[in-house]
A = this chain, B = another copy of it.
Amino acid sequence: MPVNDLSELRRSIDNIDAALVHMLAERFRCTNAVGAYKALNGLPSVDPVREKEQITRLRELAKTSGLDPDFAEKFLSLIIRDVVRHHEAISSQQSFKP
């Protein structure tokens, strides 16, 4: 990619950001459904085994795609913190609790 046009690069970045936002919105739709399922079935909000698998997998994917694996892990941690917060909110809205 030529580096002689800052505004062209920024247009690509803006397009990628829009895609990321929409993908994240869809991800939270899925995790909210997981939260509802967990609350209905009395499962805990946090699943350390699943989390560990996700981190390992994402670090490997990051290496393949040329992304810093540490950044991928920080990114996933940010998401998971928010997901757990959502799950706990869903769980507290249920009449029965795990």
Instruction: Kindly identify which residue among B6, B14, B66, B78 contacts A75, using a CB–CB cutoff of 8 Å.
Output: B78
With both chains docked as a complex, state the minimum distance between the C-beta of A14 and any C-beta of chain B, in angstroms.
7
**Residue pair B13, A17 in contact (C-beta under 8 Å):** no
Number of copies: 2
**Residue pair B30, A67 in contact (C-beta under 8 Å):** no
With both chains docked as a complex, state the minimum distance between the C-beta of A79 and any C-beta of chain B, in angstroms.
8
| A13 with B37, Cβ < 8 A, contacts A20-B24, A25-B65, A67-B24 known | no
Chain B residues near A38 (CB, 8 Å)? 6
Known: A3-B33, A71-B82; 6 extra A-B contacts, CB below 8 A, are A3-B37, A6-B38, A9-B31, A16-B30, A17-B54, A74-B78
